[in-house]
Amino acid sequence: MPLTANDPTRKSWIDVPENSDFPIQNIPFGVFLTRDDVITIGTRIGDTAIDLGAMHQLGYFKGIDLTDDIFLQDSLNDFIADGRKTWRLVRNRISDIFLHTSPGLRDDKEHRKKVLFSLDEIEMQLPVDVGDYTDFYASKEHATNVGSLFRDPENALLPNWLRIPIGYHGRSSSIIPSGTPVRRPVGQTKPGEDGVPGFGASKLLDFELEMAFITTATNDLGKRVSVEEAEDNIFGLVLFNDWSARDIQAWEYVPLGPFLGKNFASTISPWIVTLDALEPFRVDGPAQDPEPLPYLQQEGPKNFDIHLQAIIQPDGGEETVVANSNFKYMYWSMAQQLAHHTVNGCNLRSGDMMGSGTISGPTKDSYGSMLELTWRGQNPITLKDGSQRKFINDEDTVILRGYCENDNVRIGFGDCSGKVLPAN
Ligand code: MN
């Protein structure tokens, strides 16, 4: 099915500010609360939120096989379960309706009043009810840096890392939408000389610059998804800040891996940008050596060129960009991760979320966490207001941003932001 919605020459009758993340070529999906306290599924063009539930009731999706209430829900899970063909039909139809040459909604004042909202009239919610959340560890630079810092610089990368997309099962209950404050966690830390663990508010609170993809229901228990079929099962992506308490993590992570140092909060950007919208930004991934086992071998450009930034904003102060990375640095692609996740017959469900792991690039300013940027506090970062950071302070806001750009179009994700509150 053609992706007519991606046509870079298309323009909308809705105003789109210059450098907006949301031109008519994006058409992301999200869930919001309207000014009338109605929860609905919607999309966004420029700074206008669009109520897809209201549009469906008014007949704008006639001819597409959708249940009556598909958009009148508090999550996208059922819509995502409808599959890729339906996602494409709906996205193409939305594009057609908002094309500058399309009358219909454009010329119907009553309908526009029911369908269109300014951003200050809505409140973004979690876009999916996340059943299961898995976090991978797919950036070679990040794995090497963390291996050096936490273990042994001589053997930073463990032998399995180049063979397996390493991951662990995280916790979904604490995944929160952008704008939700994050409480500094309390926990145990490594013992000092007396052998007794420390206990208290984490002193080494960090962000992790990640992206996450959201799947449809892919396979029955016991079946697997091939690497060739994997992308058909990926609905879209969000920015993902996997907040991490490094001091809690360092004490607890052997032998079973991350636990309370990670599961107190993960912030996501609220608009899911579809994999279809990102199609023009496909690029080659890093060369994989040794060659992966056959079930992980993927042909063609398997990565996506998405510029990523991490920003610290002190309370009431100016923003400072502390990291510039890119999603294309991922060693293991999303398709490889999904194929690996199901190779043992593990079944994925609609709305499952897969974090990439921290995305660090090859240069020191492209590292995706404070742990790496400051080399565990040895090289503090100076913010624009002159203050220094080794890790994240109370009342700091951490903002992740991401966008793709070519000569014709820019597709972005909006903000993924969270303010740190003092520990209880
Ligand atoms: Mn992580």
Q: Is the pLDDT of residue 36 over 90?
A: no
How many angstroms separate the alpha carbon of residue 210 from the centre of ligand 1?
7
188 & 314 share domain = yes
- The pLDDT of residue 218: 87
Q: Long-range contacts for 225-229 (Cβ within 8 Å, ≥24 apart)?
A: 225/338, 225/339, 225/342, 225/348, 226/295, 226/339, 227/295, 227/296, 227/297, 227/298, 227/335, 227/336, 227/338, 227/339, 228/298
pLDDT band at 413 (very low <50, low <70, confident <90, very high): very high
Boundaries of domain holding 397 = 133-421
Rounded mean pLDDT of 80-109?
Answer: 98
249 & 395 share domain = yes
pLDDT band at 104 (very low <50, low <70, confident <90, very high): very high
| Model pLDDT for residues 237-256, shown as the tens digit of each residue | 999 999 999 999 999 999 99
184 & 101 share domain = no
Rounded mean pLDDT of 331-344?
Answer: 98
21 & 153 share domain = no
29 & 168 share domain = no
169 & 301 share domain = yes
142 & 65 share domain = no
- The pLDDT of residue 221: 97
| Residue at a domain's end among 85, 101, 124 | 124
Rounded mean pLDDT of 41-67?
Answer: 98
141 & 116 share domain = no
Q: Is the pLDDT of residue 411 over 90?
A: yes
By C-alpha distance, which of 132, 125, 98, 120 is closest to 47? 120
104 & 26 share domain = yes
How many angstroms separate the alpha carbon of residue 1 from the centre of ligand 1?
35
Mean of the per-residue pLDDT values of the chain: 97
- The pLDDT of residue 203: 98
Rounded Cα–Cα distance for residues 188 and 202 (Å): 8
Give me 281's structure tokens: 């930004």
The number of domains in the chain is 2
pTM: 0.97
| Residue at a domain's end among 124, 144, 169 | 124
One of 56, 142, 340, 341 is an active-site residue; which one?
142
| Residue at a domain's end among 103, 124, 145 | 124
322, 199 contact by CB (below 8 A): no
What CATH number does residue 32 fall under? Answer: 2.30.30.230
Q: Is the pLDDT of residue 333 over 90?
A: yes
Rounded mean pLDDT of 300-326?
Answer: 97
301 & 205 share domain = yes
Task: Please report where in the chains the tokens 């624009």 appear, as a residue.
Answer: 384
Residue percentage of the chain with pLDDT more than 90? 97
How many angstroms separate the alpha carbon of residue 168 from the centre of ligand 1?
9
By C-alpha distance, which of 186, 364, 323 is closest to 241? 323
pLDDT band at 27 (very low <50, low <70, confident <90, very high): very high
Q: Is the pLDDT of residue 320 over 90?
A: yes
By C-alpha distance, which of 375, 371, 424 is closest to 246? 371
**What are residue 142's DSSP bridge partners?**
none
What CATH number does residue 189 fall under? Answer: 3.90.850.10
How many angstroms separate the alpha carbon of residue 208 from the centre of ligand 1?
6
- The pLDDT of residue 202: 98
How many angstroms separate the alpha carbon of residue 250 from the centre of ligand 1?
14
Find all residues with CB under 8 Å of 306, minimum gap 6, and list them.
Answer: 211, 278, 281, 326, 327, 328, 402, 403, 404
191 & 75 share domain = no
Rounded mean pLDDT of 310-338?
Answer: 98
Task: Please report where in the chains the tokens 């939408």 appear, as a residue.
Answer: 177
| Model pLDDT for residues 192-225, shown as the tens digit of each residue | 999 999 999 999 999 999 999 999 998 899 999 9
- The pLDDT of residue 1: 82
| Model pLDDT for residues 125-170, shown as the tens digit of each residue | 999 999 999 999 999 999 999 999 888 899 999 999 999 999 999 9
Q: Is the pLDDT of residue 353 over 90?
A: yes
Rounded mean pLDDT of 378-405?
Answer: 98
- The pLDDT of residue 151: 86
101, 15 contact by CB (below 8 A): no
Neighbours of 42 (CB within 10 A): 27
118 & 155 share domain = no
How many angstroms separate the alpha carbon of residue 179 from the centre of ligand 1?
19
100 carries an active-site annotation? no
| Model pLDDT for residues 265-296, shown as the tens digit of each residue | 999 999 999 999 999 999 999 999 999 999 99
Rounded mean pLDDT of 407-424?
Answer: 97
